[in-house]
DNA sequence: AGTCTGATTGTTACC
DNA sequence: GGTAACAATCAGACT
């Protein structure tokens, strides 16, 4: 493992729309957790009717890690698929940059 | 060359 | 509409 830095907002401040140097911002693909949540959100809520987001989120994360790589596989696979999608965006995004640069040469 | 931070993604629930 | 923990992630910016 590279580094175990708490992915949690260190400052716990507003991390909404920030730094955006990308012209067309190729956004990133979804994370395995996103797909995991997509499949668990309704399931967790079903077993926990009336559960608030705070509980769902924490519980989801706990279960997420509870899963083994094998169980994460399908989710990771989806994440990888989404990543590919992002790759296309990134490719186009960079292609546009190159094009713009070329035109700029004019 | 290597690291690290910042930005982004999606969920639900509430104001 | 936006924000809040939850986790991943990845690419660009920085040293």
List the A68 CA – C9 C1' distance (angstroms). Answer: 19
Q: Does A71 contact strand B, using a CB cutoff of 7 Å?
A: no
Burial of A40 (C-beta count, 10 Å sphere; 0-12/13-18/19+): buried
A1-59, pLDDT tens digit by residue? 444 443 334 444 456 665 666 667 788 889 999 999 988 888 888 888 889 988 999 99
Q: Which residue has the higher pLDDT, A20 or A81?
A: A81
Tokens 């186009």 correspond to A92
Q: Does A6 contact strand B, using a CB cutoff of 7 Å?
A: no
At A75 the pLDDT is 92
Q: Does A63 contact strand C, using a CB cutoff of 7 Å?
A: no
Q: Does A57 contact strand B, using a CB cutoff of 7 Å?
A: yes
Q: Which of A26, A44, A40 is nearest to A82 (CA)?
A: A26
Threshold 0.75, pTM exceeds = yes
Q: What is the nearest nucleotide to A10, using C1' and CA?
A: B5
Q: Does A20 contact strand B, using a CB cutoff of 7 Å?
A: yes
List the A55 CA – B10 C1' distance (angstroms). Answer: 16
């Amino acid at each position: 493992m590279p580094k175990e830095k708490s992915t949690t907002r260190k400052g716990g401040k507003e991390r909404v729309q920030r730094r955006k140097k990308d012209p067309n911002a190729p956004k990133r693909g979804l994370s395995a957790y996103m797909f995991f949540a997509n499949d668990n959100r309704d399931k967790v809520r079903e077993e926990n009717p009336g559960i608030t987001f705070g509980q769902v989120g924490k519980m989801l994360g706990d279960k997420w890690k509870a899963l083994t790589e094998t169980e994460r596989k399908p989710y990771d696979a989806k994440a990888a698929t989404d990543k590919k999608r992002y790759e296309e965006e990134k490719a186009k995004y960079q292609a546009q940059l190159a094009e713009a640069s070329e035109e700029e040469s004019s």
